[in-house]
Chains A and B, each alone.
Chain A
């Protein structure tokens, strides 16, 4: 039996933002705007998620003229399953103890929970 990984509130918000449109590649700045996280917090989370195989990353094929190529991110199949389970757990915990679960109070997580668990 494998236990599902526990994520911090910030990680849940990143997973929630990536869950928004799981098949679509997203840019780092867009994720930062969605989650309200600074680059110094967002990227270490993306690095950890990529190391665990939950997020895949690639470089943009055709950069805009005069701009460097951008890095793109999306959830892997395992990442999507893991994110759905974690967001569901966070929503259930929030329902049971509304004052105790900080992660579930994050707007991005609340929105994602509403989409993932209708």
Chain B
């Protein structure tokens, strides 16, 4: 019980540190007064009242509504993603669900504390909501795909299809799934989720000084790129899986456009952001800030593309695994044998790994290409305010 009390006190102090000064004082006052209330239900009710005051005073009605919406969406996603009985790596999968929800709920609060509120205007908020939705949608989709990809089929004919696709053979018990990744894979995945959300929260915060125009350029390029990438790789990048949709040819015009957007998109976004770099009042921004706008636009372009392509692609594969109509529709209504269906499903679920590759490398490419874009961008002459003060002693003025 003492440990429970200590944990409660520590949790209260941690929450109190995140609050603005005014509400923090009032919440501390209610908490301190609880020691005067007789222990038991009365004290619990007093503290519950304090929690209500906290919600009411710190969260305005609009924010309370958004928090309720997030709670419902997170609850539904967690319910789908929660590992089924008998699936291996259950503890890892449970950690993935809990940690993802905590990251989505807690990181925006921390970001507000350390980076300040969101950039004024709709672009930043829109980008934040879309990114959180993508990460949340990815959670159940990833769980469904991983559970299927690691399921060892019972029949030998199916095993002959499944096992070579995985590249490491079928060592598990037939009819059982080893579930998602082990801890060695889960921790980097969670760090990547934190990095993605953290960077997006920073770039859409006031402290980053990224303008609305830069956000619109970066996010617009990223969304366009993600639509093209999704059309190219709706079921991963394996030709077998995309065969009903696309011929899988490397010279397909859409594939060519995807390559152009991968390397050209961030560079063009960076040039545009630098060229357009102006403060809300219309004044030109300093050179260093404009260069920062260029890098931000480029990283956003590829980061958003990777995140949304992954969410859409993994979501489509998960939907196909759960809804046979989708596979029939992808095959233009043709009747497929059970083994052909299994072939498509297992190829697509194995091909989902390519999205992880995108999540890691696209932002790196974006950073490099935006650097190139910034170098080529018309930065112009430095403004007077940026120039170092003139050295009067050496100017020759007498």
- Smallest Cβ distance from A49 to chain B, in angstroms? 12
A residues sitting closer than 8 Å to B (CB atoms) are 27-29, 38-44, 46-47, 57, 67-71
Known contacts A39-B50, A47-B26; is-contact A71 B33 (Cβ 8 Å):
yes
User: Would B33 and A44 count as touching, CB distance under 8 A?
Assistant: no
- Would you call A70 and B53 a contact (CB within 8 A)? no
Q: Judging by beta carbons under 8 Å apart, are A70 and B56 in contact?
A: no
Can you list 11 A-B contacts with CB-CB less than 8 angstroms, sorted by A residue number?
A29-B36, A38-B49, A39-B47, A40-B52, A40-B53, A44-B53, A44-B56, A46-B26, A47-B26, A68-B31, A71-B33
A39 touches B32 (CB 8 A): no
The chain A residue sitting closest to B56, CB to CB, is A44
Given contact pairs A68-B31, A71-B29, A43 touches B49 in the complex (Cβ within 8 A): yes
How far, in angstroms, from A39 to B44 measured CA to CA in the complex? 11
| Chain A residues with CB below 8 A from B48, complex form | 40
List B residues 28-48 near A (Cβ within 8 Å).
Answer: 28-33, 35-37, 45-48
Report whether B37 and A29 are in contact in the complex, using a CB–CB cutoff of 8 Å. Answer: yes
Residue of A nearest to B36 (CB): A29
B36 and A43 within 8 A (CB): no
User: Is B243 interfacial (CB-CB < 8 Å)?
Assistant: no
Beyond the given pairs A28-B30, A38-B46, 8 more chain A to chain B contacts, judged by CB atoms under 8 angstroms and listed by A's residue number, are: A40-B50, A43-B30, A43-B50, A44-B57, A68-B28, A68-B32, A69-B32, A70-B29
Query: By DSSP majority rule, is chain A's interface helix, strand, loop, or mixed?
Result: helix
Instruction: Please measure, in the bound complex, the distance between the C-alpha atom of A19 and the C-alpha atom of B37, giving whole angstroms.
Output: 23
Per the bound structure, the CA–CA distance linking A29 and B340 in Å amounts to 71
C-alpha spacing A29/B104, complex, angstroms: 37
- Decide if A39 touches B56 in the complex (CB within 8 Å): no
Do B32 and A70 have beta carbons less than 8 Å apart?
yes
Which chain A residues border B30 with CB–CB below 8 Å? 28, 39, 43
Nearest chain B residue, comparing its CB with the CB of A28: B33
Residue of B nearest to A60 (CB): B32
Shortest 3 CB-CB distances between A and B: which pairs? A39-B49, A40-B49, A71-B29
Contacts of B36 in A (CB 8 A): 27, 29, 70
A1 and B176 alpha carbons, distance in the complex (Å)? 80
A71 touching B32, Cβ below 8 Å = yes
Determine the residue in chain B with the shortest Cβ distance to A73. B29
Q: Which residue of A lies closest to B47 (CB)?
A: A39
Find the B residue at minimum CB distance from A68: B32
Question: With A44-B57, A47-B26, A47-B57 given, is the CB distance from A29 to B33 under 8 Å?
Answer: yes
User: A residues within 8 A CB of B57?
Assistant: 44, 47
Q: How far is the CB of A99 from chain B (nearest CB, A)?
A: 31
- Which B residues are CB-close (under 8 A) to A70? 29, 32-33, 36
Give the complex CA separation of A69 and B29 in angstroms.
8
In the complex, A28 Cα to B56 Cα: how many Å? 18
A70 vs B31: C-alpha distance in the bound complex, in angstroms? 9
Contact A28 B29, beta carbon cutoff 8 Å: yes
A71 to B25, CA, bound (A): 9
With the chains together, A115 CA to B47 CA distance in Å?
A: 33
Which residue from chain B places its CB closest to the CB of A67 in the assembled complex?
B35
Residues of A with C-beta under 8 A to B46: 29, 38-39
- Whole-angstrom distance between the alpha carbons of A42 and B32 in the complex? 15
